[in-house]
Amino acid sequence: MIRGMEHLSYEERLRELALFSLEKRRLWGDFTAAFQYFKGAYKKDGDKLFSRACCNRTRGNGFKLKEGRLRLDRRKKFFTMRVVKHWNGLPREVDENGDGARELKNMKSDRMKVLQMDVCSDQEVAQAVDFVKRTLKEPEEGHDLRSCHPSSPWGCCGLVGIGKGSFWRRIELQASELEQYSPLSEIGLWGLVNNAGVSTFGEVEFASLDNYKKVAEINLWGTVRVTKAFLPLIRRAKGRVVNITSMLGRMVSPSRSCYCISKFGVAAFSDCLRQEMYRWGVRVILVEPSNFVAATGILTADSIDKQAEALWSEASNTVREDYGREYFSHHVALMKSFINSGLKDMSLVLNDITDALTSTHPNNRYSPMETYWWVRLQVMTHLPTAIADWLYIPGAPL
């Protein structure tokens, strides 16, 4: 044991020493080996460990893998299964030619810095904070601090956006037109936008505890982790924290409990933080989009099939017998019908994020959604529960 670290947990010791866990180091080595394989380093073996998947419609990176046929070599098959599972879960920006990273870099803006960060990693979040601190510029002598407006994200006030690249390209372009908004502040970070998120489905008896934890780790704890890390910089600038939740952070929907819990948690965290930050002059703002599945690709036929297979295989015999395969298949088909549903234009969301960052008097809550979902949200949150359920949930008694 290293002297002075006896009282620290395993994770805290790794963080202090700037080390990864054994599990992450092994995964890192696996990814390195897979990358070298595709670069031709292992051609002499003549083994087809991986091949590139034909379908690129799934959300995430555009270089999907599929396993080679290695039924007679369990060691190699175990390696390929382990790598493919995690590789295909990497975000699109991991690929240097990914749409998000390429779109941001093509802007060729000296005010835009692209940095990849895992919101589930304390170490990577801390490194991102250090990067932002190094990038933010001290005001020059005689510099008028009123010029540090949100249209200059990397001057003495900054803007950090967590999520897909297409959001930030639009916001950067809109912010450049808003020169009249000039918040007075010391050096600090003007805006933080938490947009990273994942979705899943599954009724409570089918969803495993791991499903709940995985979704919450990104949607909820990722938001909390990033916000806490950047909050001192935000306070110095008397800036803005904008958290992207969902209409499912205020009302629930059957088979979406994993997602709803995470979004309700973000809403509660944001409400508490908003009240705490009033004395500091910091605004904490929620953006609650409705159904933008068709625009974001957060659900695809491939991802639904994979989730459904896992839900059914991991369910207990009792649950499978009681619900039946026919009911479960109908439920999966219903989820697939949502793939192309909702709005395909993200303008409503992007305009609200821009207003939240640049308006002199922003709203505490924005709800970019169609009329149907706005009415349903009002019904579900204002009418007695029994009446609201009876109106929208099949089989609910009155």
Catalytic residues: 259
The answer to whether the beta carbons of residues 299 and 190 sit under 8 Å apart is no
367 phi/psi in degrees, rounded to 5: -130, 75
- Location of structure tokens 């808003």: 178
Q: What is the DSSP letter of 44?
A: G
- Residue 174 tokens, joined: 């809109």
- Location of structure tokens 């009282």: 7
The answer to whether the beta carbons of residues 102 and 69 sit under 8 Å apart is no
Kindly write down the DSSP assignment for every residue of 63-84, as one continuous string: --EEE---TT-HHHHHHHHHHH
End-to-end Cα distance, the chain:
63
The answer to whether the beta carbons of residues 227 and 194 sit under 8 Å apart is yes
Residue 144 host element (H or E):
none
Longest dimension (CA), the chain: 75
CA 319 to chain centre: 31
Q: Cα–Cα distance between 398 and 391 in angstroms, integer?
A: 9
CA distances to 35, 147, 158, 178, 280 from 144, in Å: 49, 6, 16, 18, 22
- Residue 55 tokens, joined: 């379908």
CB neighbours (10 Å) of residue 382?
A: 8
Q: Which long-range contacts (CB under 8 A, 24 or more apart) does 266-269 make?
A: 266/194, 266/219, 266/220, 266/223, 269/220, 269/223, 269/224, 269/227, 269/243
Cα-Cα-Cα-Cα dihedral of 312, 315, 318, 319, to 10°?
-70
